[in-house]
């Protein structure tokens, strides 16, 4: 829509219904839930719905049902959005959970937390024309991403009108009938119609009986080994409750390992540093492996290659010129140490780089691969070439 006139498209009167969009998102989620229920029935899995609690290492009590006994138990209770101490949720103060159900739009929104969830909602609200201010206590947004990529995304968002406040803590949240405000540590006061809290998650471990079994935890998260076993050998834990990498595809992979281990099948350990991480913002951000700062801290000798989408074949053709591919290679062996992408379809482009890392591929395989033209993926090969000072289109 932003680039419609560039393609010769002249739009008339335009309107949107945010409530309809929310309803559709809930319909999609419900469809997935029904799909899972079907798969349960298809595979002979009994679903018992209710509040559960561990009675012992082989028994789960469920409110309104008979106790369930099993040889092995998998704990997958997930995590919930973190709240600020003594701050109650309200019509103006919400977490991602409430935001996904809210059908009305404020005109001006404050987002506390500049991580992946905060930026995903930033992109949603920005697309609907809201005034968005993001406050992040750490020095830059996307604190878990490569700093260069994070700074690039910050520049793109700022150019689009997002106000970013980084490296500043919040002293107080003030709410009244008209607005909600953040009092920052530097004395500045920011006000908006609503506040979205996106300051991380807390594990759902309270009240599920862990204390009865003396299952080992660390910072509230359940400790597991590479087989997903907890400190009790027949009790397993997967997903956000482990605190390792809070992503849906990680939880799914952990679940497969736990199930195979229980079934007596051979399992292979997860290499968490080789699992892709994606932020579904605009632009998308995707990464796998180590950031450049981590390589410096470890004293690893590396080479770096960058290629902007503005110089790719498809980027200018589709007006998707924001962002770049950044690749980090081991100086001695040429193995891929890290890949970081900001831009259109980054979530798709990261997959072959994760595959390269998992299969212990090197820069030579990338250089020897012919990428279709014009595509966004050409930037991968160009970035690899750039690491040797050989980029063809830059």
> pLDDT tens, 93-111?
999 999 999 999 999 999 9
Among 6-20, 103-117, 125-139, 367-381, the least confident range: 6-20
Q: Can you name the residues that pair with 278 across neighbouring β-strands?
A: 286
Which positions are catalytic?
Answer: 373
Q: For 57-74, write each residue's pLDDT tens digit.
A: 999 999 999 999 999 999
Q: What is the pLDDT at residue 7?
A: 73
How far is it, in rounded angstroms, from Cα 284 to Cα 290?
18
Pick the CATH number of 48-80+203-270 from 3.50.50.60, 3.30.230.70, 3.40.190.10, 3.40.50.1390: 3.50.50.60
93-199 and 48-80+203-270 share a CATH fold: yes
- pLDDT-derived band of residue 2, with 50, 70 and 90 as boundaries? low
Residue 20: name the closest of 122, 103, 124 by CA: 103
Residue 229: name the closest of 238, 220, 221 by CA: 238
Average pLDDT over residues 293-320: 96
Q: What would the two tokens of residue 391 be?
A: 């980029």
Write the DSSP symbol of residue 322: -
Q: Is the pLDDT of residue 302 over 90?
A: yes
Q: What would the two tokens of residue 96 be?
A: 């991602």
| HSE (side-chain half, CA atoms, 13 Å) at 235 | 22
The distance from CA 88 to its chain's CA centroid, rounded to whole angstroms, is 25
Residue-averaged pLDDT of the chain: 95
Average pLDDT over residues 34-46: 95
pTM over 0.85: yes
Q: Is the pLDDT of residue 13 over 80?
A: no
Q: What is the pLDDT at residue 211?
A: 86
Phi, psi of 276 (to 5 degrees): -65, 145
CATH code linked to domain 93-199: 3.50.50.60
CB proximity list for 206: less than 8 A, separation 6 or greater: none
Domain ranges in the chain are 1-40, 48-80+203-270, 93-199, 274-386
For domain 274-386, the question of CATH label 3.30.390.30 is answered with yes
- pLDDT-derived band of residue 1, with 50, 70 and 90 as boundaries? low
Judge contact between 282 and 123, C-beta under 8 A: yes
């Amino acid at each position: 829509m932003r680039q419609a006139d560039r393609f010769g498209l002249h739009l008339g009167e335009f309107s949107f219904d945010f409530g309809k969009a929310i309803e559709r998102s809930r319909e999609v989620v419900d469809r997935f839930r029904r799909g899972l229920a079907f798969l349960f029935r298809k595979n002979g899995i009994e679903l018992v719905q209710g509040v559960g609690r561990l009675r012992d290492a082989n028994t789960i009590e469920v409110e309104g049902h008979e106790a369930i006994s099993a040889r092995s138990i998998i704990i997958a209770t997930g995590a919930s959005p973190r709240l600020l101490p003594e701050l109650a949720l309200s019509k103006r103060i919400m977490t991602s959970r409430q935001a996904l159900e809210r059908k009305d739009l404020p005109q001006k929104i404050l987002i506390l937390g500049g991580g992946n969830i905060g930026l995903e909602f930033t992109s949603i609200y920005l697309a609907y024309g809201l005034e968005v201010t993001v406050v992040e206590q750490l020095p830059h947004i996307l604190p878990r991403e490569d700093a260069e990529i994070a700074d690039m995304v910050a520049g793109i968002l700022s150019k689009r009108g997002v106000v970013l406040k980084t490296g500043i803590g919040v002293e107080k949240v003030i709410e009244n009938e008209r607005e909600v405000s953040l009092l920052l540590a530097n004395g500045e006061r920011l006000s908006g119609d609503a506040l979205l809290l996106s300051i991380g998650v807390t594990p759902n471990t309270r009240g599920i009986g862990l204390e009865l079994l003396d299952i080992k935890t660390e910072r509230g998260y359940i400790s597991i080994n590479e087989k997903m076993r907890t400190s009790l050998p027949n009790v397993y834990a997967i997903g956000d409750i482990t605190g390792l990498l809070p992503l849906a595809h990680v939880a799914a992979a952990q679940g497969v390992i736990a199930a195979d281990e229980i079934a007596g099948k051979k399992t292979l350990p997860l290499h968490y540093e080789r699992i892709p991480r994606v932020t579904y913002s605009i632009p998308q951000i995707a990464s796998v492996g180590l950031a450049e700062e981590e390589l410096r801290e470890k004293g690893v000798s590396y080479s770096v290659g960058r290629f902007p989408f503005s110089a790719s074949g498809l980027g200018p053709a589709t007006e998707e010129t924001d962002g770049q591919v950044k690749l980090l290679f081991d100086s001695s062996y040429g193995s891929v140490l890290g890949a970081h992408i900001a831009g259109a379809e980054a979530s798709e482009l990261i997959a072959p780089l994760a595959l390269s890392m998992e299969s212990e591929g090197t820069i030579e395989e990338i250089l020897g691969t012919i990428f279709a033209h014009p595509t966004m993926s050409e930037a991968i090969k160009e970035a690899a070439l750039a690491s040797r000072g050989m980029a063809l289109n830059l």
